[in-house]
Each structure stands twice: as C-alpha cells, then as structure tokens.
Amino acid sequence: MAPTSFQGSVTSPAEGDEGLHLPSQLAPEAFRVLASAGVSRAVLPGEELFRRGEAAQSMFLIDTGEVRLSFDEGLADKLLGPGQYFGELAVFIGRHQRFARAVAETPGVLYEITQDAFQALLEREPAQVARFMQRSFAYLVAGEHQLVQSLRRRNEDLLQTLDTLRQTRSELTVAQQLVRSDDLTGLANRRGLYRYLDELGRQPLGGLRLALLLVDVDHFKGINDRSGHLAGDAALRAVAEEVRRMAGPLELPCRLGGDEFALVLRVADEGELANRALGLLAAVRSLRLPSLREHRLSVSIGGAFCGDPGGWAAWYSEADRALYAAKRQGGDAWRLDE
C-alpha cells in the first residue's frame, strides 16, 4: 500500500537504540512498515491537518516536506520533517483530544494511519508495532520530562522575580521613610507631617478634638554660639526625645526645621491640652546636658484647636501666633490661641 520515498536520514537512529534518539525520527524499515498501514496524502503549505482540541482519529507519518506543530501559549512550535511522525496518541488511546495544531509548512506527502488500520497492523506486525510504541512512549516521557524541567525553571525565574520585587518594595519603603523623616532627630519632617495630615481627614476621632502644638527652643542661637554646633545638635535631639515621649500612638511628633517642632494631638478638651503642654515644658526644663554647661534648656509652646482637618495653613498661623505670645512672655511658657 505504501511505496515510500523516505530513505532515512543521517540523523536516523541505529536499530536497537531508537528510544534514545529524539525527536521522533523513524528508521527506514520502521517507517516502511508503518506507512504500509497508511493512506498517502499530498499537502500544500498552510494546509491544516488538525486543530487543538479536535477529537483525534489518526496519526501521520511525513514522507516528504515539513509540518509545524503549535502548542499552547508559552511552548515552542515543533517543525517535523521526513521520517518523523505525529498525532500518534490518537491510534494508541483513541477518543483523545489534540493538544497541538498541525499545519503543513511546505508541500509534501504524508501517510495518514487510522486507528483501525493501526490495530490491523498490530496483529500483522506485532514486533515492529511494539518497538514503535516503545520508542513513542520513551519520546513522550522525555517530552514530559522536558516540560516539567522548563516549568520548574520558569517557577524558579518567577520566584527570583518575586524576590527582586520584594526587595525593591522594602528598599522603597526605607527610602520613603528616609524622605519623610528628619536626619538629626529621626522625627517626621515637614513632608511626613503633610502626609500624616492627608491621612488624618479619613480617620475617626472618637469624640476627641485635634489640636496643634508648635514647640520652639528658647534662645537656641545662643546655645550654638556659646557651646558650638554639636552641642546645639545634642540639645535638638534631647528636645525631640521629649516631644516624641509626649506623643500618643496616633499622634505624629515632627521637626519642622531648625529649632521648631510640631505635634498634632487628640485631646478631650482645653484642660487636657494645657496639661500636655505644661508636661512638655517641665520635661524640657529638667533636661541636663553636660555639653550645654550652665545653659538651662527651655521651650515655648503655642497651641490651637484644629477646626477643619484640611486647614493646616490656618492651624499653623493660629498656633504660631500663640507661640510668639509665649516668646514675648519671656519663653518657657505655653499659650493657646483664643
């Protein structure tokens, strides 16, 4: 039934170790026997032999020309040539859906072998068919193995990408914190405060009132002048620590710049605000820094209640007015903007 023009190629495997040679290249004798069960069919470039998902009926042997197999996304196409076969699962297991699309790449001649013809061949040439099936399974298993390997590699690549992403995110978080915090004291800086104020409008206050305290070190220029800039830095850090200590968990202590600090508080009433301001005055007053020699640290504090959570400029100018009232009083004092 099948006079073949395929004569075997230089890559065709030697008898006996066929299963080790990939891809599916048949020795001329095996090809001849299989082709004898098939019907020869001429194909033209672009001609579709089967589609993905289609119910499989037969397998194909390539006598001349080339056929392209396309798989799911992510898997490379396969180009098969003379002496190779494809679609063999159809004759092995029947009722099987194609998982590739097969299209003729060049003009050529194929042998199409139906399941019935294959069964008849099995009875006629059991030894040859058994060898053919054995090599096919070895080929399928090797293909499966390659697939598992490539999935594993892809998985490793994904894990690595995920790792890089995680690292970038944590670097970004650190960078964002650096951008929002003050180098000298570690408190939030003005940028951090604005960010906090943005969030503030969305948070419930649970019946409390928001208030702003502006804290400014008294005669700080004199500290720098008398004891040096490093001593000035130490004084700023010590005051910052007291401001931080006074802040509750949802309150943001920050350094606005120079010797000026700010704290947005949540208080029940004016009495509580006064207590907290007086507590801070006392805490700074009791600081003793050896680098400042005889100089006693003190701060002035101006306070204002925040009517509108978005109105930073208004709160700031009210608290600033109160702060200068405290300064005019001689410092080491607190005033509330009325």
Ligand X SMILES: Nc1nc2c(ncn2[C@@H]2O[C@H](COP(=O)(O)OP(=O)(O)OP(=O)(O)O)[C@@H](O)[C@H]2O)c(=O)[nH]1
Task: Using CB under 6 A, count the residues that bind ligand X.
Answer: 15
Stretch that binds ligand X, among 100-108, 120-128, 190-198, 220-228 (CB under 6 A): 220-228
| CB contact at 8 A, 50 and 102 | yes
Cβ closer to ligand X: 153 or 221? Answer: 221
Distance CA 232, CA 327 (A): 19
Q: Rule CB under 6 A: is residue 220 a binding residue for ligand X?
A: yes
Q: Which is nearer to ligand X, 34 or 322 (CB)?
A: 322
Residue selected from 41, 78, 219, 295 as contacting ligand X according to rule CB under 6 A: 219
Determine phi and psi for 175, rounding to 5 degrees: -60, -40
Work out the widest C-alpha separation in the chain, in whole angstroms.
Answer: 116
Which range, of 90-98, 136-144, 217-225, 261-269, touches ligand X by CB under 6 A? 217-225
Nearer to ligand X, 233 or 337 (CB): 233
Sheet holding 260-267, edge to edge: 252-257, 260-267, 209-217, 299-305, 334-336
| Binding mask of the shown chain, residues 83 to 102, with x at each position contacting ligand X by CB under 6 A | --------------------
Binding mask 221-240 for ligand X (x = CB under 6 A): x--x----x--xx--x----
Q: Which is nearer to ligand X, 69 or 187 (CB)?
A: 187
User: CB of 208: closest distance to ligand X in angstroms?
Assistant: 30
One-letter amino acid of 332: D
User: Least distance in Å: CB of 190 to ligand X?
Assistant: 13
Q: Binding to ligand X by residue 330, rule CB under 6 A?
A: no
Q: Based on CB atoms, which residue is closest to ligand X, 166 or 221?
A: 221
Binding window for ligand X (CB under 6 A); candidates: 25-33, 113-121, 171-179, 212-220: 212-220
Tell me the C-alpha distance between 44 and 40, whole Å: 14
The answer to whether residue 216 forms part of the interface with ligand X (CB under 6 A) is yes
How far apart are CB 273 and ligand X at their closest, in Å?
22
What minimum distance in Å lies between the beta carbon of 327 and ligand X? 5
Work out whether 82 is an interface residue with ligand X (CB under 6 A): no
CA gap 235, 329 in Å, rounded? 22
184 binds ligand X per the rule CB under 6 A: yes
Angle at 316 between CA 313 and CA 318, to 5 degrees: 110
Which 19-48 residues touch ligand X, going by CB under 6 A?
A: none
| CA distance linking residue 169 with residue 240, whole number of Å | 29
Strand order through the sheet with 108-114 = 39-43, 108-114, 58-64, 85-86
- We find the least distance from the C-beta atom of residue 228 to ligand X, in angstroms, to be 8
Q: In terms of CB distance, is 36 or 300 closer to ligand X?
A: 300
CA distances from 263 to 41, 158, 196, 235, 247 (A): 87, 45, 11, 18, 7
Do the Cβ atoms of 256 and 262 come closer than 8 Å? yes
Task: Decide: helix, strand or coil at residue 301.
Answer: strand
Cβ atoms of 213 and 263 within 8 Å: the answer is yes
Q: Would you say 98 and 152 are in contact if contact means Cβ atoms under 8 Å apart?
A: no
CB of 206 to ligand X, least distance (A): 35
Q: Give whichever of 56 and 301 is closer to ligand X, judged by the CB atom.
A: 301
| Residues in contact with ligand X by the rule CB under 6 A | 184, 216-221, 224, 229, 232-233, 236, 258-259, 327
